[in-house]
Amino acid sequence: MTESSINSIRILDIKYGTSVDGIGLRTSLYCTGCENRCVGCHNPQSWDEKGGEPIGIEELFSRIVEADMNVTFTGGDPMFHPEGFIQLARMIKERTDKTIWCYTGYRFEDLLLHPVRRKLVELCDVIVDGKYMQAERDLSLHFRGSRNQRIIDVSKSLQGALHLLE
């Protein structure tokens, strides 16, 4: 399946005005589909990639614009099926000044090695990476559930990664 053939994303829920999925009030899109199946996951109903309902990318973009808040992609795992999120993120970046946070169970370094997932990474401002690990749970953390998860400033991290490749 190519990026251009995707016209919807399976969404389990949309939360408007949430402050737990990134800095400030945000519109959080909870997609379906996750292969990580973390023990203790707060959203196991999102694992089934056939769950939720398909919502058109244009419709999602309209809802984001109407809500007038920054955006968070979460789930499930948006990197499990990044093609639709790439299209949506491009629209957000080209037509608004909103920031995009993305939660994923994949490690940042691994995402950079996957050509399609890397495209989505490059469109995000912040990636919260790593599987939720119940043994690392820490209620004092902001915007993540376990100590192994990292909050990554994408542009700074990509600059550092490019520097290492030179």
Say how many domains are in the chain: 1
Residues making up the chain, counted from first to last? 166
Q: How many CA atoms lie within 13 A of 73 on its CB side?
A: 34
18: CATH:
3.20.20.70
| Residue 161 structure tokens | 């990664």
Domain span holding position 72: 3-165
Radius of gyration of the chain (CA): 15
Report helix, strand or coil for 166. Answer: coil
Record the pTM. 0.90
pLDDT digits (tens, 9 = 90+) for 138-159: 888 889 988 889 999 999 888 8
Pair type for strands 26-31 and 70-74: parallel
pLDDT in tens, 47-65: 778 889 999 999 999 999 9
With a CB cutoff of 8 Å and minimum separation 6, the contacts of 125 are 99, 100, 101, 153, 154, 155
